[in-house]
Structure 1
Amino acid sequence: MRIPTSTGLRAGPRQWAGLAVLTLPTVLLALDMSVLYLALPSLAADLSPTGSQTLWIMDVYGFMIAGFLITMGGLGDRIGRRRLLLIGAAAFGAASLAAAYAPSPEALIAARALLGVAGATLMPSTLSLITTMFTDPRERALGIAVWMIAFNVGAIIGPIVGGALLEYFWWGSVFLIAIPVMVLLLVNGPFLLPEHREATSGRIDLTSVLLSLVTILPVVYGIKELAKSGPGTVSFGAIVVGVLMGVVFMRRQKGLDTPLLDPALFRDRRFGSAVAILVLALITTGGILLLGMRYLQQVAGLSPLEAGLILLPQTIGTVVASLAAPMLARRFRPATVIAGGLTLSALGFGLFVLAGTEHGVWATAAGSAIVFVGAMPLMVLGTDLIVGSAPADKAGSASAVSETSTELGVALGVAIMGSLGAAVYRDRIGAALTSDEPSEAVASARDSLEGALSAADHLPAWAIEAAREAFTAGLTTVGVVSAILVAALAAMTMVTLRHVRPTGETSEGAEEPDGVKVSPALTESGPER
């Protein structure tokens, strides 16, 4: 397969200033995903939502983002990525204002749903604009690293910012922080961000939009139900419906002149391999993040602040690894850098076997840090492979696929690895507890560690300790399984991405030994500005 290359131009001050602007909505989106958890108690006291309404207030935002990513990626390719970004920013600001002053649970659910739809315009738009602004592959990889760091920073500062606001203001204040951020984007975006749209774009196919929604939404809902309630008819039924609709969706795309999501993207081995590896790797990291934080607080007894502080090296490490990955990819093949990082992650997962020892806290903290530092090369270079291997006119769709893969990978990780940990817990605690204890307390303890802790007044101390040991056994099991899976992914990476050259090498007119032409996605050259 012969893929032509051309020379990319170096970015100037305007492009780097534009990147700074693009980090604004990225930080905000990550922050908005976590900040509401802190506001929930005061929100519940003010609006008095039912249990079902509370779940929808929390979940509808993520559902809408996941469901509309594909649609918004294709729409941005058609009407212009900057235009869609600015429209989405205005809509996000308006929806944030509506959420802050929502008079009822129903109004807040509707506002959160609109926030999710608006948020779905921001992620693929920001990522695809980076590919437009940075045509030199080395600079594009660095831009994606900065974009990734901005997202991580948003997730980290979410609880801090939210806690500070709730200390002095009402729950709605956590939504108002979006207003000045979006104003900055709307003021500076038209001057610093370039416009790019598909050269021969057709009308968006509304049937494809509907099919994409009934593909993603049932799958995400089913995965969340699997994580909350375990295997069941509802969770598996929703996932099956989503998968079947996905088949119908892809079949329709093949018959359209201007598909919402071009199936040809997946014919590129770099694109398909990077998507698959990204999803599988996020299954492991998503699961261990949830279990590790629970271990530190519910087993080791750390406060949320202490748990956050002990994971601070993880945060610093991910920032360094994100910036180092594109630098290393200039000298070494991306497959080598990604596989090396995944191998490091496998070693980090292995440290979780020490969670049951006297060094459990530090082993868990060190293991988490190593896992996420090792995952950063995949997050940065994998994302660069996905968006860089797509044609310029399809960068929005490719970015949407990348973001959807991330959403599904993390959700699957929470569901699958969480279910594995829960299964080990129930097996261990069932053998430890006898029927001599009060039945309700025993039932709570057998269900989860949270149940055991809530029934602590009705259980002997040895039973609580048994529950903590059972949870730790689940954590170590997940660590071992994740280590094996990630090690296999490292080998898979070396096989499927071995033909992609370092970004510091040119490939004009050169072919790999098996005749595969190197994509401009990860070479020194790129499309002319």
Structure 2
Amino acid sequence: MSTPVSPLPSSAPRTRWLALAVLMLPVLLVSVDNTVLAFAIPAISTALRPSGTDLLWIVDIYPLLLAGLLVPMGSIGDRIGRRRILLIGAAGFTVVSAIAAFVPSAGALIAARAAMGFFGAMIMPATLSLIRNIFTDPTERRTAIAIWAAGFSGGAALGPIVGGFLLEHYWWGSVFLMAVPVLVPLLALGPWLIPESRDPHPGPVDPLSIALVMAAMVPLVWAVKNFAHEGPSVLVLLAALVSLLVGAWFVRRQLRRPEPMLDVRLFAVPAFSASIAANLLSVFSMVGFLYFVSQHLQLVSGRTPMEAGLLLLPGLAVTIIAGLAVVKLVELVRPAHAVVAGLLLNAVGYGIILLTGSAGTDAGLIAAFAVLGAGVGMAETISNDLILSAVPASKAGAASAISETAYELGAVLGTAVLGSILNAAYRSGVVLPEGLDAQQAQAASETLGGATEVAGSLPADAAGALLHSAREAFDSGVVWTSVVGVVFMLIAAAVVAVAMRPQRTSAR
């Protein structure tokens, strides 16, 4: 049995924070990669001429594999070493990203995106689990996790800005090539700055458990994404059923094994499960909000992608500040109260939209996003800290993988649930002018983007009528989306408050 390498001693604080700076590089990259691809889709469509199915797989194959492999890769990292699997993942991600930038066909890009999902799954659990082992002081660890969480939010907001700049000056492959200068410093400095850590008593790798978690997660993510795009169908229902059945098989296997790949008994701990739920729903609220605010700023207010991204920077700054400030706050109040306060702020952010009766002005949207960002910063930082604190340091990889999986599912569900509600409200409210052919009517009735494109080919009067109706329908959909957002966040706050309340013991 190999001896685990100990975390850096407390006498090396400067090295710890330098290690965190290096660990933030892949966090920023993977987060940016989640949003930047959407801006490259038009250029990819022109250059590679993919079919509709190919285009869907180019977008979806990465999160499908990433979500399915996070738990297995986190568990493997506990066994072979978290720094080792991080560096393997970073090297693979760098090489594949460079290849993806120059692929000649849609099929090759799909394969490259699949490989990026494979290596990306090695990176994300390792970063958070290494933070858990590097920062043993609770206050320092919370601060480090706040910075880590800010990296996720920062990457999501920087995606449109980075994507807009690159696509304005370079070809579509540049959005993939940016991985090289970001990850090369990690590969060069990581072995020197980041200490190795692993489970001192690892169990054997269980290939069947890995296959089961993949078979449970991939159909679930596929079902949610397809429900968002196409609505309910037999295939969506079957995929969800397969995910449920295989997930039950996975849980049953973990309960029966003496050394499970994932200790599912952790979910019986109310604080752990509540923290996972808070993590998922915070991301759900953020991504769902970004889904409509990005469209409003570009298609209603007429902003460029880069201008829209810049307008979201104040919310990003508030997210970072709130995530750091909550570290001091939990010295005065219980961590559970901070998580509940964060979820309530998420509800207030959506409530600001409701007060206007529509998507409102750009200033109102920016203010709402800032309030939402404060809530996400608070809830994400403390929920991740509670998740990691609930397990021994030796199991940090598996716990980090659960947290990351909740993050990915929250992102998928935010778009799927809130996006579907928004699209349904839009379809029911838009009024089409006369004289459209079948193809134009189909495009204009589906999305605001489709209506904007169709309006560009119409006479001025018809174009103005279509755009006015489409924007009114979109803003009415935003109201309904915000109602659901408020309700979800209030329910989440109540559930977390109950689950995390101190357990009373009776004296006998």
CA contact (8 A) 2:15 2:193 kept: yes
Q: Tell me: CA distance 1:515–1:330, structure 2 relative to 1, closer, same or farther (3 Å).
A: farther
Q: Indicate whether 1:304 and 2:305 are aligned.
A: yes
Matched, 1:493 2:496: yes
Shift of 1:210: 0.7
How far the C-alpha of 1:463 sits from its partner, in A, is 4.0
1:219 CA displacement: 0.6
C-alpha contact 2:67 2:218 (8 A) present in aligned 1: yes
Match of 2:255 in 1: 254
Aligned residues of 2:283 and 2:410 also touching (Cα < 8 A): yes
Q: Equivalent residue for 2:446?
A: 447
Q: Aligned partners of 1:220 and 1:322: how far apart in 2?
A: 28
Q: Separation in 2 of the partners of 1:89 and 1:515?
A: 52
Task: Name the structure 1 match of 2:211.
Answer: 210
| Cα gap change, 1:299 to 1:162, in 2 (>3 Å) | closer
In the alignment, is the contact (CA less than 8 A) between 2:278 and 2:343 conserved in 1? no
Q: More deviation in 268-277 or 489-498?
A: 489-498
Contact 1:279–1:408 (Cα < 8 Å) also in 2: yes
Structure 1 unmatched ranges of 5 or more = 1-7, 500-511, 517-529
- The CA distance in 2 between the partners of 1:226 and 1:44, in whole Å, is 23
Letter in 1 for 2:465: W
Distance 1:49 1:379, change over 3 A: same
Scaled by the length of structure 2, the TM-score of the pair is 0.91
1:117-164 Cα shifts (integer Å, max 9, x gaps): 101001000000000001111111111111112222223333333444
- Cα 1:106/1:392, change in 2 over 3 Å: same
Matched-pair contact (CA < 8 Å) for 2:79–2:198: yes
Structure-2 separation of matches of 1:463 and 1:106: 37
Aligned to 2:280: 279
Amino acid at match of 1:496: A
Contact 2:160 2:306 (8 Å CA) reproduced: no
Whole-Å separation in 2 of the counterparts to 1:82 and 1:357: 48
1:62, distance to aligned residue in structure 2 (A): 1.6
Distance 1:201 1:357 in 2: 54
Question: Alpha-carbon deviation of 1:443?
Answer: 4.3
**Partner SS state of residue 455, structure 1:** helix
- Return 472-481 or 26-35, whichever deviates more: 26-35
Q: 5+ unaligned residues in a row in structure 2: which ranges?
A: 1-8
Residues 181 and 204 (structure 1), Cα distance of their counterparts in 2 relative to 1, 3 Å cut: same
- CA shift for structure 1 position 10: 7.2
Count of matched residue positions in the alignment of Structure 1 and Structure 2: 494
Q: 1:439 to 1:118 in 2, by over 3 A?
A: same
Equivalence for 2:4: none
Residue 295 and residue 177 in structure 1: after superposition, are their counterparts in 2 closer, same or farther (change >3 A)?
A: closer
SS in 1 for 2:260: coil
CA contact (8 A) 1:354 1:360 kept: no
* Distance apart, 1:289 and its partner CA: 1.7
Shifted more, 48-57 versus 321-330: the winner is 48-57
Q: Distance in 2 between matches of 1:308 and 1:163?
A: 9
Which residue does 1:182 correspond to in 2?
183
- Tell me the residue number matched to 1:465: 468
Rounded to whole Å, the distance in 1 between the matches of 2:330 and 2:411 is 25
2:66–2:121 Cα contact (<8 Å) kept: yes
C-alpha deviation, 1:325, in angstroms: 1.3
Moved segments of 4+, more than 6 Å: none
The alpha carbon displacement at 1:379 in A equals: 0.6
The percent identity for this pair of structures is: 42
1:313–1:29 CA distance, 2 compared to 1 (3 A): same
Shift of residue 437 of structure 1?
A: 5.3
Q: 1:97 to 1:460 in 2, by over 3 A?
A: closer
Contact 1:422 1:448 in 2 (8 A): yes
Is 1:124 matched with 2:115? Answer: no
Partner of 1:135: 136
- Cα distance per residue 1:281-333 (max 9 Å; x no partner): 43333222201221222233333233223222111111111111111111111
Q: CA deviation at 1:515?
A: 7.2
- Over 3 Å counting, the alpha-carbon distance change for 1:166 and 1:428 in structure 2 is closer
CA distance in 1 between counterparts of 2:13 and 2:446 reads: 58
SS where residue 498 of structure 1 aligns?
coil
What letter corresponds to residue 176 of structure 1 in structure 2?
L
Alignment partners' CA distance in 2, 1:281 and 1:126: 20
Range 186-195 or range 155-164, more displaced: 155-164
Q: CA deviation at 1:386?
A: 0.8
Instruction: Tell me if the contact between 2:32 and 2:159 (Cα under 8 Å) persists in the aligned partners.
Output: yes
Shift in Å at residue 34 of structure 1? 2.6
1:461 alignment partner AA: G
Query: Root-mean-square deviation (CA), in Å?
Result: 2.3
Residue 514 of structure 1 pairs with residue 501 of structure 2: no
Q: In 1, distance between residues paired with 2:220 and 2:358?
A: 38
CA-CA distance at 1:472 after TM superposition: 0.9
Q: Does 1:30 align with 2:31?
A: yes
Q: CA deviation at 1:354?
A: 4.4
How far has the Cα of 1:513 moved from its partner?
A: 4.0
